[in-house]
């Protein structure tokens, strides 16, 4: 079982981390086996050096079959017990590396607090070296890029140097007006990968609410299915969440990643405040989180994005031309 890290900063999307992990885990497995031999004398040696691991992970050198040495002949807990800890360190480096470029006592303490001993049946002090190995691997992992990436991304694009971040929220009484607002922003040149959408759907009458991936891609069912399906063709990722006191909520864009982080942080605790926490991660100031969340609960559809002051003024003008939006700009 893979332990979920305590996420403290924005980093690569979970899909990207999974793809990178799938590519490098076999090289790390060999590295772990060699480390186990070096420290305990247990098992067969693989002659696996740090250089071998880096080159194999990057695809420069082939990875020999498991337990076959690198050149004529090349193990601490076995790989099956070590992998969750290495993965934990690897993912944590992707999330925290911008703040902590190297392993420090503060990083060690933070990861110890986030380690799930109950789920993994291992104490953190038993797996510390494995966690650190994953952390170090995360710092040198080759970046992953998807072919044909969609317009939007779970990552917030960087602002130009000297620009300070702002956030706007455009609230629409009617969901089709939100679709028109997105079209207006796109026509005005607004960078759609910055844009998030959040709104309730309902089970009024005989309609249910659903979300699934079929032969035609991601599809929605519900009162506002037409709007959701149209927006999902422009924004990614998309998801359907059921939240206490709010109900079924459709979310698209970077807010999906923010919600993912807040769910991971919440663990087994009640999730009543996850929407507010996700909005704050996206740039909505804490003083404004409750009113914005209340608008979602009231059934309004929101467009929101982070950008420079100039970005927000351009978005305000475009949405005013489109009509139907109550526009609010939020300073940090």
List pLDDT tens digits, range 198-215: 999 875 556 678 888 776
Phi and psi angles of residue 251, each rounded to the nearest 5 degrees, phi first = -130, 140
Helices (H), the chain: 14-40, 50-57, 79-96, 105-114, 117-120, 124-140, 175-187, 225-232, 254-266, 274-282, 286-297, 309-322
Q: Report the sign of the C-alpha dihedral through residues 148, 152, 156, 157, in that order.
A: positive
Exposed, middle or buried by CB within 10 Å (0-12, 13-18, 19+), for 40? exposed
The HSE-up count of residue 25 (CA atoms within 13 Å, CB side) is 17
Report the C-alpha gap between 280 and 289 in whole angstroms. Answer: 7
- Average pLDDT in the 239-250 region? 84
- Residue 273: which residues within 8 A CB-CB, separation 6 or more? none
- 24 secondary structure, DSSP code: H
Q: Give the per-residue pLDDT at 37.
A: 62
Structure tokens at 123: 């104490």
pLDDT in tens, 290-331: 899 899 989 999 999 988 888 899 999 999 998 889 999 988
Element (H, E) at 192: none
Structure tokens at 268: 């087994």
Lowest mean pLDDT among 42-46, 61-65, 87-91, 186-190: 42-46
Q: Give the per-residue pLDDT at 252.
A: 93
pLDDT in tens, 106-149: 888 888 888 888 777 888 888 888 888 888 877 655 444 433 33
Exposed, middle or buried by CB within 10 Å (0-12, 13-18, 19+), for 261? buried
- Average pLDDT in the 243-260 region? 86
Residue with the larger pLDDT of the pair 310 and 75: 310
Q: Give the per-residue pLDDT at 173.
A: 93
In the chain, DSSP finds a helix count (H) and a strand count (E) of 12, 8
Structure tokens at 253: 């864009």
Residue 179: C-alpha distances to residues 154, 231, 239, 253, 327 (Å):
20, 7, 17, 14, 15
Closest CA to 57 of 90, 32, 20: 20
Residue 60 reports pLDDT greater than 60 = no
Asked if 13 and 26 touch (Cβ cutoff 8 Å), the reply is no
Residue 57 reports pLDDT greater than 70 = no
pLDDT in tens, 226-242: 899 889 888 888 888 88
Percent of the chain with pLDDT strictly greater than 90: 17
Q: Give the per-residue pLDDT at 314.
A: 92
Would you place residue 280 in the very low, low, confident or very high pLDDT band (cuts 50, 70, 90)?
A: confident
Residue 23 reports pLDDT greater than 90 = no
Residue with the larger pLDDT of the pair 72 and 211: 211
Percent of the chain with pLDDT strictly greater than 70: 68
Model's pTM, two decimal places? 0.52
Element (H, E) at 78: none
Q: Strands across the sheet with 238-243, in order?
A: 238-243, 247-252, 195-200, 301-307, 166-172, 325-330
Would you place residue 34 in the very low, low, confident or very high pLDDT band (cuts 50, 70, 90)?
A: low
Report the C-alpha gap between 317 and 54 in whole angstroms. Answer: 50
Lowest mean pLDDT among 6-10, 266-270, 319-323: 6-10
């Amino acid at each position: 079982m893979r332990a979920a890290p305590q996420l403290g900063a924005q980093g690569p999307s979970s899909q990207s981390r999974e793809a990178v992990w799938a590519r490098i885990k076999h090289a790390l497995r060999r590295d772990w086996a060699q480390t186990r031999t070096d420290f305990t004398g247990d098992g067969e040696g693989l002659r696996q050096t740090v250089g071998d691991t880096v080159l194999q992970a990057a695809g420069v050198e082939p990875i020999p079959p498991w337990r076959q040495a690198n050149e004529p002949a090349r193990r601490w807990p076995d790989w099956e017990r070590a992998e969750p800890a290495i993965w934990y360190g690897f993912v944590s480096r992707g999330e925290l590396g911008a703040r902590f470029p190297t392993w420090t006592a503060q990083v060690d303490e933070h990861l110890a607090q986030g380690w799930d001993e109950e789920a993994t049946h291992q104490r953190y002090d038993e797996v510390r070296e494995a966690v650190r190995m994953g952390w170090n691997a995360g710092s040198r992992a080759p970046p992953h890029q998807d072919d044909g990436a969609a317009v939007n991304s779970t990552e917030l694009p960087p602002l130009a140097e000297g620009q300070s971040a702002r956030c706007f929220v455009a609230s629409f009484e009617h969901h089709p007006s939100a679709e028109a607002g997105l079209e207006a922003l796109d026509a005005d040149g607004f960078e759609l990968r910055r844009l998030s959408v959040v709104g309730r759907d309902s089970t009024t009458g005989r309609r249910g609410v659903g979300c699934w991936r079929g032969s035609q891609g991601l599809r929605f069912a519900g009162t506002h299915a037409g709007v959701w399906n149209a927006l999902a063709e422009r924004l990614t990722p998309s998801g359907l969440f059921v939240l206490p006191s709010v109900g079924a909520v459709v979310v698209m864009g970077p807010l999906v990643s923010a919600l993912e982080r807040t769910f991971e942080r919440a663990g087994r605790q009640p999730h009543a405040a996850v929407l507010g926490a996700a909005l704050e991660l996206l740039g909505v100031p804490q003083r404004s989180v409750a009113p914005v969340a209340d608008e979602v609960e009231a059934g309004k559809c929101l467009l929101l994005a982070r950008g420079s002051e100039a970005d927000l003024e351009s978005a305000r003008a475009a949405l005013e031309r489109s009509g139907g939006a109550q526009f609010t700009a939020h300073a940090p």
